[in-house]
Amino acid sequence: MKRQMLMGIVPVLLFAACQRPPSSQPSPADSLAQTLDTLALPATNYYAIYTPLGRMVVRLYDETPQHRDNFKRLVAASFYDSTTFHRVIEGFVIQGGDPNSKDADPSNDGTGGPGYTIPAEIRPGLFHKRGALAAARQGDEVNPERRSSGSQFYLVVGRTFDSATLDEIEAYLREQIPDPHFAFPDSIRRLYQTVGGAPFLDGLYTVFGELVEGFEVLDAIARLPTPRRTGQQAPPAQLDRPLQPVPMTIRPLENYSPGS
């Protein structure tokens, strides 16, 4: 069964993994995993995401080493080349990294990956501020450990929230994480009130980096026409798919200096 999105009191990011039948023969996913394990990783944590709308630069966090190194390996293997941002929602996120998005079948976008998942690295000090880089995943009902997709990621476009709404989100997260003592630090509350983000995802998804350059590109991608935005009919899972594909290429930036 394919699962791509749940819409409850807040949007929830999902990716769906196609089940593959048991086999005694090595699978393509097994071969990929073996290849990834042999790749040398660059020292830099800065990566450029090139799109037709411009360049974005992300910084990977050392606090999430499994996600950091997995991203580096996939880039080294050119895994992301020609994948697209298959889900774009203004005020929320842009999502990509699915190898299925390379083909001509839009119905399978958001359901693919490299054939493995990654243990959650949900850190209390990492939040879904505007520009956060995080891992998509299947929902809790089939993924109670909150393991991340092996390749799909999202960048938070976000919006601002007032204090009363943040109070409601805190109450929601205390139940969902669950953590009866969860509360946003004062500095993060101010950030969500002034700069924005997606606070309702905190504690539920692994944040493993952040955007440091190209916020105008992030916003431009999020504003692209989609069936939902233009009122066109489409299957529910394709309502937020851009009408024109947004392919990406990701490369390490060995000598990058923020602000230069």
Confidence band (pLDDT; 50, 70, 90) for 27?
very low
Task: Give the residue among 66, 134, 65, 110 at the shortest CA–CA distance from 240.
Answer: 110
5 pLDDT above the threshold of 60 = no
Q: What is the pLDDT of residues 103-135, one digit of tens each?
A: 989 999 999 999 999 999 999 999 999 999 999
> Is 16 a domain residue?
no
Domain assignment present for residue 61? The answer is yes
**Residue 147 pLDDT more than 60?**
yes
Point out the least confidently predicted range of 21-25, 58-62, 105-109, 223-227: 21-25
Question: What pLDDT does residue 36 have?
Answer: 86
The pLDDT value recorded for residue 33 is 76
Q: What is the pLDDT of residue 35?
A: 82
Residue with tokens 């998804």: 205
pTM for this one?
Answer: 0.90
Residue 254 lies in a domain: no
Compute and round to an integer the Cα radius of gyration of the chain.
18
Does residue 231 lie in a domain region? yes
Instruction: For residue 15, give the H/E element and its range.
Output: none
**Domain with 84 in it:** 5-11+42-159+201-246
Q: Is the pLDDT of residue 175 over 60?
A: yes
Q: Which two tokens stand for residue 259?
A: 């602000």
Per-residue DSSP letter, 230: H
CATH code for the domain of 91: 2.40.100.10
Q: Is residue 19 part of a domain?
A: no
In a domain, 207, yes or no: yes
List all residues 6 or more positions away from 146 whose beta carbon is below 8 Å from its beta carbon: 120, 122, 137, 140, 204, 205, 206
Pair 86, 221: CB distance under 8 Å? no
Secondary structure element (H or E) that encloses residue 82, with its range:
none
- The verdict on residue 58 lying in a domain is yes
Q: How many domains does the chain have?
A: 1
User: CB 236: neighbour CB atoms within 10 A?
Assistant: 11
Query: Is residue 108 in some structural domain?
Result: yes
